[in-house]
Amino acid sequence: MTPAGTLSIDALRATEYPELDAVFLNSASYGLLARTTIEAINGLTARRNRPLGVPDPEPGAALRRARRAAATLLGAGVDEISLAPNTSYGINLGAALVRSGAPGRIVVSAGEFPANVLPWLPLRDEGWSVDVVPTVGGLPDEAAILEAAARSDVRAVSVSAVQFATGYRIDLEALGRVCRARDTLLIVDAIQALGVVPLSPADLGVDLLATGGQKWLSAPWGSGFAWMAPRHREKIRPPIVSWLAVEDGAAYSTDGGYHLDYLDDGRRFEPATLAVQDYLGLAVAMELLQEVGIEAIQRHVTGLHDPILEWARARPGVRVVTPLDPRRRAGILALELPDAERAYQALDEAGVRAAVREGLLRLAPHLYIDSGAMARVVEVLDGVVS
């Protein structure tokens, strides 16, 4: 992999996204695939049909490459990564970790994406309570979450690093500090953060991080990964038993019998055969992002927000719901407008794809958007609001 910062965003846009025929501001739903990523996926798929086209070691090497790129992205060890098809898989792994301890309370925030709340609800049948902390003005109540995290009967806090509708970026450093001091497990859904803001879970005191690759990582649907702090690895039985998760799993011989000798790394939590071509795509996508550098992407995206923020300041009927403080923002900018659906439609007709979530207009520009496109967005919004 080429070192971070060696590829400029303009150069990447020109070579990797040469044919964008509209303005895509919906990377919080799914990111656009770079040309190199598509070529890697299609190349492997095409070679698969040539009898000698895929050397035996290649699928395994593609998965190793994805684990390596994920580890680099998180500043983690490659042995700490478990490839997984989506965020939910990782959150469920977090639930297995939490239920390995004595029952208590689990804290989540209202306004969370369901993928980060529903996996906790079955624990209610096992003596656990799930506390949903109400939002304030539609945003997570960080003070209340911190207070809850410090309570002695709270065993786990599960949060999105960045909230799906409002784009609120929680202060993981502060939350991690409280959780660590109280031995409270911190589970983080990072899908709206990775690829657009730097995040190193071990430094932040996170216990488990889950993500899909389909959004800001600009990777295929159905690719993703989980990271678990190594100290927890032995505490839980893998919730899904995979023949590839054990020593000699791929020996293709039953002579030695059947043994559940789990691998001593994150592969023990992987769900057996994966969509190899898509994980190759995930690897290539993450390598590209890291060539540009996540800090550079963050600066670029924050800059793309600026014209919208400036416009919104001058419009009495418009409220910026996402915090203005860039430290509490990632890629999503959410606006409360007199009629968000109408704004969405007007943008769509003008060749701009946005989204409406929780009644808010959600703009999610990524590195393949330039400032000219945002000027066009302002023009359309101005036409709708005034």
Decide: helix, strand or coil at residue 24. Answer: strand
Residue 113 Cβ vs ligand PLP, minimum distance, rounded to whole Å: 4
**Segment contacting ligand PLP by CB under 6 A, of 56-64, 108-116, 144-152, 252-260:** 108-116
Which one, of 256, 223, 229, 261, lies nearest residue 242 by Cα?
261
190 near ligand PLP (CB under 6 A): no
Decide: helix, strand or coil at residue 27. Answer: coil
Tell me the CB-side half-sphere exposure of residue 322, using CA atoms within 13 A. Answer: 31
Residue 219 Cβ vs ligand PLP, minimum distance, rounded to whole Å: 11
Residue in 82, 92, 116, 166 binding ligand PLP, rule: CB under 6 A: 116
| Residues in binding contact with ligand PLP, number by CB under 6 A | 12
**Segment contacting ligand PLP by CB under 6 A, of 81-89, 142-150, 264-272, 330-338:** 81-89
Residue 354 CA to residue 242 CA, distance in Å, equals: 39
Q: Binding marks (x or -) toward ligand PLP, 36..75, rule CB under 6 A?
A: ----------------------------------------
Q: Tell me whether residue 111 or residue 205 sits nearer to ligand PLP (CB atom).
A: 111
Q: Tell me whether residue 94 or residue 212 sits nearer to ligand PLP (CB atom).
A: 212
221 near ligand PLP (CB under 6 A): no
218 near ligand PLP (CB under 6 A): no
DSSP 55-103: -TTHHHHHHHHHHHHHHHHHT--GGGEEE-SSHHHHHHHHHHHHTTS--
Residue 298 CA to residue 200 CA, distance in Å, equals: 15
Residue in 62, 185, 191, 283 binding ligand PLP, rule: CB under 6 A: 191
Residue 379 Cβ vs ligand PLP, minimum distance, rounded to whole Å: 28
| Cα 299 from chain centre | 18
Residue 186 CA to residue 287 CA, distance in Å, equals: 27
212 near ligand PLP (CB under 6 A): yes
With contact defined as beta carbons under 8 Å apart, do 171 and 328 qualify? yes
27 near ligand PLP (CB under 6 A): no
Q: Tell me whether residue 283 or residue 384 sits nearer to ligand PLP (CB atom).
A: 283
Buried b (16+ CB within 10 A) or exposed e, 202-229: bebbbbbbbbbbbbbbbbbebbbbbbbb
Q: Tell me whether residue 123 or residue 159 sits nearer to ligand PLP (CB atom).
A: 159
* 14 contact partners, CB below 8 Å, separation of at least 6: none
Residue in 27, 82, 86, 322 binding ligand PLP, rule: CB under 6 A: 86
Please name the residue ranges forming H helices in the chain.
9-16, 35-48, 58-74, 87-98, 142-149, 172-182, 201-204, 276-292, 294-313, 340-349, 371-385
Residue 199 CA to residue 193 CA, distance in Å, equals: 8
Which one, of 297, 309, 347, lies nearest residue 22 by Cα?
347
Q: Tell me whether residue 281 or residue 293 sits nearer to ligand PLP (CB atom).
A: 281
Residue in 4, 77, 113, 345 binding ligand PLP, rule: CB under 6 A: 113
88 near ligand PLP (CB under 6 A): yes
Residue 322 Cβ vs ligand PLP, minimum distance, rounded to whole Å: 14
Residue 220 Cβ vs ligand PLP, minimum distance, rounded to whole Å: 12
Positions in the binding site for ligand PLP (CB under 6 A): 86-88, 113, 115-116, 160, 164, 189, 191-192, 212
